[in-house]
Amino acid sequence: MDAPYAKLEQLEPGIARVLAHNPSAFTYYGTQTYLLGEREVAVVDPGPDLPEHLGALSEAIGGRAVIAIMCTHTHRDHSPAARPLADRTGAPIVGCAPLALETVGPRADAAFDGDYAPDRVLEDGEAIEVDGKPVLAVATPGHTSNHLCFSYGDTLLTGDHVMGWSTTVVVPPDGDMAEYMRSLDKLRRRDERVYYPAHGPAVTNPGQYVRHLMGHRMQREKQILKLVGERARPIPDIVANAYPGLDPRLITAAGGSVLAHLVDLQRRGLVEQQGELWTAA
C-alpha cells in the first residue's frame, strides 16, 4: 500500500507523526505514532515492536530527550514498542494502566499486550509536561477499560476512542458500550480544535464528528431493539440484518459490537438472553 511508512510527517509545530507498517482490516494503513514537543519529546502510542518502526522513531527523536513514552491503551498495535523504545532512550513509560486481569476475570484476548508494564499510570486529569506544556490524560473507557486520550494544547490524541477512518470496535468483556457512549459525551463537552487518532486522518470538526458517532450508535441500538422485538434472534442473525454487505473479515468484530449493545440493553432491562437467543424484555 502506498502510505508514508517510517517517514516523519510534521503536522503542526510541536506535533509530528510516524506511521508503522502494520496495515489490516482493523488498523487501516497502520498505527500512527505521535511525537509531541520541540526541544524535548513525548512519544504517544509507540506502536507495534517492528525494527523499521523503532528505527524511524529513533531517527525522528534525533538527539532530543524523551520525557515519556505514552500509551492510550494496551492493544497489540499500540503498546509493544514501549519497552524497546524505553530501553533505547531511558524514558519512562507513562499513561494507561495495565489491564488488571487477575481481578476482573478473562477480559483480555490475543489482541492485548500482556507484557505492558508502565512506570507511571496517569489518572484522569493528571498531566506530564513537554517543553513546559502539559499533556493531560482524559480517561475514555469503552474501546478498552484502560483507554486514555491525551490533550495537548488545543489538540486531542484520541488513540482508538475516536478514529478518523472507521467506527471504533467495542467488544465485551473488556469493551463496554455504555462506557464508550459516556466517553464520547465527555469529549462532546470539550473544545479541542482537532483530533489526531491512532488510525486514519485527523478529525478537523471534532464536535460535529463526535455527535455523528453518538447518533450512529443510537441508530444501531434502535435497529437491534427492533430486530429482537420482531422475534428472538441469535447474534449472527442480527449481524446479517444490521450490517448488510459487511466485509467478511469484520463479521466477528460486528458480532462483538452487537453483543456490546445487547449487554448494555440487558443491563437497562430492555432485552433478555435465552441461550443463544436474544429477545425484547
Residues near Zn ion (CB under 5 A): 75, 160
> Distance between CA atoms of 53 and 2, rounded to whole angstroms?
16
> Distance between CA atoms of 20 and 77, rounded to whole angstroms?
9
What is the end-to-end Cα distance of the chain in Å, rounded?
A: 47
The reply to whether omega before 173 is within 30° of 0 (cis) is yes
> Distance between CA atoms of 141 and 173, rounded to whole angstroms?
13
How remote is the C-alpha of 126 from its chain's centroid?
Answer: 19
State the nearest-atom distance from the C-beta of 73 to Zn ion, in Å: 6
State the nearest-atom distance from the C-beta of 162 to Zn ion, in Å: 12
- Cβ nearer to Zn ion, comparing 75 with 186: 75
Q: Which three cell numbers stand for residue 230?
A: 420482531
Q: Which three cell numbers stand for residue 155?
A: 489538540
- Cβ nearer to Zn ion, comparing 253 with 277: 253
- Cβ nearer to Zn ion, comparing 130 with 170: 170
State the nearest-atom distance from the C-beta of 35 to Zn ion, in Å: 20
State the nearest-atom distance from the C-beta of 130 to Zn ion, in Å: 24
- Cβ nearer to Zn ion, comparing 21 with 88: 21
State the nearest-atom distance from the C-beta of 6 to Zn ion, in Å: 21
Residue nearest to Zn ion (CB): 75
Question: How many Å is the maximal CA-CA distance in the chain?
Answer: 64
- Cβ nearer to Zn ion, comparing 93 with 96: 96
Q: Which three cell numbers stand for residue 111?
A: 489482541
Residues sharing a CB contact under 8 Å with residue 274, sequence separation 6 or more, in sequence order: 232
